[in-house]
Structure 1
Amino acid sequence: MNKGEGKMKQRLGIIDGIRGFSLIGILMANMLIFQYGIWGMNELEHFKLFVGDEAANIWVKVFVEGSFMPIFMFLFGYSMIKMKEKLEENGGKVKRHFARRFFLLIVLGLLHSTFVWEGDILFSYGCLGLLMMIFLNRKKKTIFIWAVTLLILTSFIGFGNMMETPEEAESINSYVQKANLIYADGSYSEIKDFRNSGEDPLGLPPGAYFFIILLTPFMLCPLFLLGMYAAKMRWFTQPKEERKLYVCWASILVPIGLLLKSIPYLLPNTVWAGVAEILGAPLLAIGYIFAFALLYAKGVNPVFLKLFENVGRLSMTNYLLQSIICTTIFYGYGFGLFGQIGVINGILLAIAIYGIQVITSHFYLKVWKVGPFEKLMRIGTYLKWSGNTKKKAKPVPDYPQVKEQI
């Protein structure tokens, strides 16, 4: 193996490792939705709580919620640039391959949200991926300016968090109680119908939802763009040489992110609480990325890091399996534990499920190289059963003909 190949393998390892690391945080954050529903996760007074659950809930919201999904977004943008480079190297049609990939993500997301769980992210990723294609050939400086500008502007959406009116609070409470009964005791068809009913506790006008749909991509784009920027800068390719970079940004962004996300709990009445929380979440996510990358720069036991890499290599399969496992545990057609086990036990359950995925990913990759859903994505992207891009044939040298001497 030459030096260049070694660096490439190292790069893939660190990116897979960060992706695998993000899945434990995503599961912890999603555990609140699995247990209490999208609306109920902020109305815990309607559920059975245990000693320490309120403190644990604040810990999740400060250290975890909103700061691990952005890691996925960052890596999505990073991988787009790397995939573009690979396609160009092999003579593939870049936009055509990306369009197929993102449309397939949209379809998988719709199926996931319709038939399994309401907290799907694949649909949003597919839609945003189509939008991000306009940045594929942009300069590094342009991408960075767009990322920082959108990050700052969208943070001010949280300015002056609006208080719920008594009517809205009553409507939400009624919806949460109804959801509690259906999710805990309902059949699969009852839960699916309720999830897809489109019932809105706030009763917002259609124009409000149009505005939300229009605004959402701009709120999610910054992390995608920063991932693209990092790939174009060739970050995370040589951890040993980049150690100072990791230390610098981790030591700055992790404390700042935690401080900003703590403001709504330390100073709940300040008008800047919403801005601080929205801005703190992605900053903490980027800090986590550099902090985890530092493990590679410091030469932490490769066996330990390989466990995260294995989970990351099967990230889509593991993400979808988390939905299937948790809905089976909490919903009425499974064990019916919706709203019953508490926040701390939910955290412990998330760790246990992730531990099982670490073990299963390790043994799965000893037999197969690609996960089932990852394979499906490759087949749909490259339109080849092998799931690999067609390599560009190397030109044959045109040597001058030499007449045979007699």
Structure 2
Amino acid sequence: MTALPPQPDAQPDALPESGPAVMSAAEALPERGPVRQRSPLPDVLRGLALLGILIVNVQDFAGFRVWTQGGLDRTVQVLTDIFANGRSISLFAMLFGWGAAGLLARQGVGTFLLRHAVLLAVGSLHFVFVWHGDIIANYALLGVFLLLTIRMTAPTLVALAGVMGTWWLAEGVWAGVQASQSGTRFGRFAGLPQLPSGLPYSSVVNERASDFSSNLIDGSIYNGPWLLALFCLGAAAYRTGLLTRPHEHGPLLRRLTGWGWGLGLPLGILLAWLNTRGDYASGLLAIPVRMGGGLALALGYVGVLGTLAAQDRLGRWKAFAASGRMAMSNYIAQSLIMTTVFYPYAGAQYGQWGAAAAVALALVVGLAQLPISAWVLRRWGMGPLERLVRALVYGRRSGSGKA
């Protein structure tokens, strides 16, 4: 597949928020409206993360329990745990922080808050009417915290991320250790929605609507320190130009590659082992292992692809850039497709598929989004939801956006 070349007048209305382009000193002055040119690396990383998120989320869509998988299903689940589970969402969250920091620097507080309000509305509608696993609303709400970091340097942001992330991981490990030592015989909590056969769409919507506010608040409180740590790492990457000028950061990218893969792979193997066990303590321990190893390997992915970008050798990886530029539209399209296949008010396949078949479907859908996204960008310049967000945030003055 060929890559879509950078388009003039292209708006970075993607989820996570796209960040700044490579700018000269004169162009660095704040201006209202969308970014006009793009560096390919952030879009490639975002598109790759989007595919990985679908591969992981398909467990929730399809309704299979990871610790019950056997044979080929278990092999697929192990590979998912090692290379995608926790890795893709960590990369996505860091890119959100990177883009939010860029938006704040370029457009100011007013546009930043307006965009986050729009994202909160989009995420809320996604949660209630499409799928309970929405991340857009949580990101929009927690992302406002970055207003407090606007004057922080990259080292300060990394230090702050280290404190929040270490505290959150330590809490998770301690909870798992306590559960293992207590001798509890509770079974593992699946975390999957209750979707009995024949459940109508109206009932699903009503239940999600009643759960929305508590889900948003509780999720933001529980996951807040970890997500904020990832946002801060992304903001630090913005401050240093790591993603827009990777050729200036060769030593750092090599360290990210070595340490990221060196830590991420063993923790991924540990996660895969924990996910073969059905006890409560293993389920608790899997959470910090998943996210700690996920962050490590996500940084390893940044190191590898950043090095390739610095050498102008992204090659076929550039095919992910088109999907990354339409991340919000593609993310919600994934929810629509998967709930149509699996949920009882449509395809009614929930609980009928194992990991192998479900991940195969995820790969088909996710990879199909690459050429479709490229075609949409050639034809209209942006995705439908990106166009909507752009209109609500920037108004008609930002132009049509077609390349």
TM-score (ref. length: structure 1): 0.78
Residue 104 of structure 1 is aligned with which of 104, 118, 123?
A: 118
- Which residue of structure 2 aligns with residue 129 of structure 1? 143
Give the CA RMSD over aligned residues: 3.4
Alpha-carbon shift at residue 234 of structure 1 (Å): 1.4
Q: Distance in 1 between matches of 2:372 and 2:264?
A: 33
CA contact (8 A) 1:257 1:284 kept: yes
State the identity as a percent. 26
- Which amino acid in the other structure matches residue 239 of structure 1? P
CA contact (8 A) 1:23 1:319 kept: yes
The aligned length equals 361
- Which residue of structure 2 aligns with residue 118 of structure 1? 132
CA contact (8 A) 1:378 1:387 kept: no
CA contact (8 A) 1:378 1:388 kept: no
- Which residue of structure 2 aligns with residue 401 of structure 1? none
Q: Does residue 232 of structure 2 align to residue 218 of structure 1?
A: no
Q: Distance in 1 between matches of 2:219 and 2:377?
A: 41
- Which residue of structure 1 aligns with residue 194 of structure 2? 179
CA contact (8 A) 2:138 2:219 kept: no
- Which amino acid in the other structure matches residue 317 of structure 2? L
- Which residue of structure 2 aligns with residue 258 of structure 1? 265
CA contact (8 A) 1:379 1:387 kept: no
Distance 1:377 1:330, change over 3 A: same
Residue 312 of structure 2 is aligned with which of 290, 299, 315?
A: 299
CA contact (8 A) 1:375 1:387 kept: no
Instruction: Give unpaired runs (5+ residues) of structure 1.
Output: 88-93, 200-205, 390-406
Residue 42 of structure 2 is aligned with which of 4, 10, 15?
A: 15
- Which amino acid in the other structure matches residue 126 of structure 2? H
Q: Distance in 1 between matches of 2:305 and 2:196?
A: 41
Which aligned pairs between 1:1-400 and structure 2 lie closer than 5 A? 12-36=39-63, 41-42=65-66, 45=68, 51-87=71-107, 94-160=108-174, 161=176, 162=179, 169=187, 179-182=194-197, 185-196=198-209, 198=211, 213-264=220-271, 275-300=288-313, 302=315, 304-384=316-396, 386=398
Alpha-carbon shift at residue 343 of structure 1 (Å): 0.3
Alpha-carbon shift at residue 326 of structure 1 (Å): 0.6
Alpha-carbon shift at residue 306 of structure 1 (Å): 3.1
TM-score (ref. length: structure 2): 0.79
Alpha-carbon shift at residue 213 of structure 1 (Å): 4.5
Larger radius of gyration: 1
DSSP-derived class of the 2:344 partner: coil
CA deviation string 1:54-75 (max 9, x = no partner): 2322322232111111111111
User: Which is further off, 111-120 or 65-74?
Assistant: 65-74
CA contact (8 A) 1:11 1:236 kept: no
User: Which is further off, 331-340 or 216-225?
Assistant: 331-340
Alpha-carbon shift at residue 264 of structure 1 (Å): 4.8
Distance 1:80 1:368, change over 3 A: same
User: Which is further off, 304-313 or 96-105?
Assistant: 304-313
CA contact (8 A) 2:85 2:290 kept: no
CA contact (8 A) 1:10 1:238 kept: no
Instruction: Give unpaired runs (5+ residues) of structure 2.
Output: 1-7, 9-21, 28-34
Alpha-carbon shift at residue 4 of structure 1 (Å): 6.0
Distance 1:278 1:17, change over 3 A: closer
Alpha-carbon shift at residue 342 of structure 1 (Å): 1.2
